[in-house]
Amino acid sequence: MLRLARPTQTRQRESTIALINIVFLMLIFFLVAGTLTPPLDNDVSLISTVEANPSEPPNALFVTEEGELRLRGATTDARNFMIARTETLGETAAKELEVKVAADRDLPAAKLVDIVGALKAAGASKISIITERAAE
């Protein structure tokens, strides 16, 4: 009788390529889905609120404690801000687009009201004040 040796079954090793692919796809997803925002102005500490809707402040108009308006680090005023915005977006779009104001928490409220009034007088139709959510 002839005995044939049974072929030994080779155990397949688990492939790590599938795991690498999943991690890579997750990385791509979070890069695409995440919102990158410009850094906040270092001289401005935002107002704290207990209840606030989360919103990112891109292209926000920052107001320092002294009442100085800054856009992307450059000093400006309400009129020049709206003029530059109109040149960039066009007159209709500039007036319809929301102006986001990130004011320093130590800025007196009267100065903030004056700044909002100046923005309205310069042609801004919708103005939002950006705050940070306080720890509960």
- Which amino acid is located at 50 in the chain? V
Q: pLDDT tens across 18-56, in order? A: 888 899 999 888 887 776 656 566 666 666 666 655 554
Q: Supply the mean pLDDT for the chain.
A: 77
**Residue numbers of the domain that contains 98:** 47-133
Residue 73, domain member (yes or no): yes
Q: What is the pLDDT of residue 136?
A: 58
pLDDT for 125 equals 80
Task: Report which of residues 90 and 48 the model is more confident about.
Answer: 90
Question: Is 32 part of a structural domain of the chain?
Answer: no
Domain-embedded: residue 4 = no
Is residue 87 situated within a structural domain? yes
- Please report whether residue 10 resides in a domain: no
Inside any domain, residue 103: yes
11 has a pLDDT exceeding 60 = yes
Domain count, the chain: 1
* Res 54: pLDDT: 56
What was the pLDDT predicted at 18?
84
Residue 31 lies in a domain: no
- Structure confidence by residue, pLDDT tens digits, 59-78: 678 888 888 888 877 888 88
Per residue, the 3-state secondary structure of the chain, as one string, reads CCCCCCCCCCCCCCCCHHHHHHHHHHHHHHHHHCCCCCCCCCCCCEEEECCCCCCCCCCCEEECCCCCEEECCEEECHHHHHHHHHHHHCHHHHHHCCEEEEEECCCCHHHHHHHHHHHHHHCCCCEEEEEEECCC
Closest CA to 117 of 77, 71, 90: 77
* Predicted pLDDT at 17: 84
pLDDT, position 38: 60
Q: Is 93 a member of any domain?
A: yes
Q: Helices 109-122 & 78-89, crossing angle to 10 degrees?
A: 40
Give residue 75's pLDDT: 83
Residues in the chain: 136
